[in-house]
Structure 1
Amino acid sequence: MKLTLIRHTTPDVPKGTIYGKTDVLLKSTFEAEAEIVRMNIGDNKFDRVFTSPLTRCRRLAEFCGFGYADVDDNLAEMDFGDWEMKSYAEIEEHQLEEYFNDWRHKVTPGGESFEDHQRRVRVFINECIRDGYKSVLCFTHGGTILHAMILAGSIDDERPFDHIPAFGSMVNIEVTEPLI
C-alpha cells in the first residue's frame, strides 16, 4: 500500500509552544502554503482519503479538494496533556529533564506517551491494509508522520526528531504487510 502523508500548514502559535492535540489556528499564509500542497498532490488518485480530526488538517484537506475526507482520530497529533499550549519555559525543568531522558515511555501529565501515539498510527495503517487499499492519502501531523515512517522502516527510531517533515510537506511510504 502506498501511504501519502501530508503535514498541515504552519500553525499560528508562538515558537516553543507545545500544541499537540490542541485545535490551533493557522498562519495568514495558509492559502499560499495550501496552494503548494494542492499542486504537489496534482492529479494523483487515491482509494481513500483520511484526515486528522483537528481543524488544521481538515481545512487543508478541504482546500485541496478533499472535503469528503474521512476523519480518523488515530491520525491526530500526540496528546501532551497538561503541557498543551504551554511554552517549554513554563514547564518545570525537572519535568522536562525526566521526559526527555525517557521520551519513548514517559507520559506527560494527562497526556500520552510516544509509544501510545505510535500504537494509534499502527492501528490506522493496519486497518488500511486490512481493507485492501492500494493508495491512501492522509492529512495529518509531524509526529504522526514520524511514527508512520518508523513503522514502515523508512527512518531509524533512535533519532526520529531529526526527520520531522516541514509544514505542508508530503511524505510517501510503502507498507506491504500488517505491522506488528
Structure 2
Amino acid sequence: MALRIFLMRHGETEWSTSGQHTGRVDIPLTENGEREARRLGDRLAQTKFDHVLVSPLQRARHTCELAGCGERAEIEPDLIEWDNGDYAGQTHAEVFKQRPGWNLFRDGCPHGESPAEISARCDRLIGRLVTLDGNVALFSHSHFGRVLGVRWIGLPVQMGHHFILNTASRSVLCYQHDRIDDPVIESWNG
C-alpha cells in the first residue's frame, strides 16, 4: 500500500488563541481545543492508520487521544514543535518591537532552533517516513508541520512562511501516481 501521511495539528491552546509563540512550552488544550480534537477524530474515523506517531508535548498527545488514535500512538521526538528560545511566550507584535521585520522561517529564534536545524530535523524524519507503507498519522504542531510540508516537496524551510496550519487541521502528504520520486501535497489545512 502506498505511503500517505496524514499530518494533524493539535487543538486550540490559550497561546494559539492569544498568538503567543508556544514552541516547546508544554501547555494543555483549552476546552474548545478538546472539542476540536474530537471533531478531528470524527473526520479521521473512516481512515485505518498503519502507524501513528505523536509529538511528546501534551497538546499533541491529548489531541491524538481525543481523536481516537492514542492507543496505537508512538512518541516521535522529531515531531516536537520548533524551539522558540527567547521568543517563547511572546506574540509577533512583541518580537517585532525588538526585531522589526523578523521572520521565524528565515531568522529562527535566539537560543532556539535555526531554520537549518529544523530543516535537518524534518529531513531526518522524512527519511524514516519514506521507509513506511500505508497510512501514517502524525500529530504535531503548526510551525513544525509547515516545515515538514515544504521539505516533503523539496522546498526550502523559508517557504513554510506561506503555509498556514490551523488548530486541529488535517493535511495529507503523498506521492503523485504512487511514484516515490514525485512527492506532493494532496490536501492542506483541512
Q: Tell me the TM-score normalized by structure 1.
A: 0.84
Deviation at 1:4, TM superposition (A): 0.3
2:136 aligned counterpart, secondary structure: strand
Conserved? CA contact 2:11–2:34, under 8 Å = no
Number of the residue aligned with 1:119 = 120
1:147 — aligned with what? 147
Match of 1:18 in 2: 21
Structure 1 residues 110, 45: CA separation in 2 closer, same or farther (over 3 Å shift)? same
Higher RCO, Cα 8 Å, sep 6+: 1
Report the Cα offset of residue 133 of structure 1. 2.6
The equivalent of 2:109 in structure 1 is: 108
Structure 1 unmatched runs, 5+: none
Q: Specify the code of the residue in structure 1 equivalent to 2:112.
A: G
| Percent of residue pairs bearing the same amino acid type | 24
Does residue 67 (structure 1) correspond to residue 70 (structure 2)? The answer is: yes
Q: Could you tell which deviates more after superposition, 41-50 or 170-179?
A: 170-179
> Contact 1:118–1:144 (CA<8 Å) still a contact in 2?
no
**Pairing 1:1-180 to 2, within 5 Å after superposition:** 1-13=3-15, 15-68=18-71, 69-91=73-95, 93-97=97-101, 99-100=102-103, 103-104=105-106, 106-130=107-131, 132-153=132-153, 159-175=159-175, 176=180
Counterparts in 2 of 1:154 and 1:90: CA distance versus 1, 3 Å: same
Structure 2 unaligned regions, length at least 5: 184-190
**Residue 105 of structure 2 contacts residue 161 of structure 2 at CA under 8 Å; is this kept in 1?**
no
1:80 CA displacement: 0.8
Distance 1:157 1:79 in 2: 15
How far has the Cα of 1:50 moved from its partner?
0.3
- In the TM superposition, what whole-angstrom CA distance separates every residue of 1:145-177 from its partner, at most 9, and x where no partner exists? 212221222978665333212111100011525
SS at match of 1:43: coil
CA contact (8 A) 1:126 1:178 kept: no
- Tell me the TM-score normalized by structure 2: 0.80
Offset, 1:119: 1.6
Work out the CA distance in 1 between the residues paired with 2:151 and 2:95.
Answer: 30
| Cα deviation code 1:16-47 (max 9, x no counterpart) | 31111111122221332122100110131122
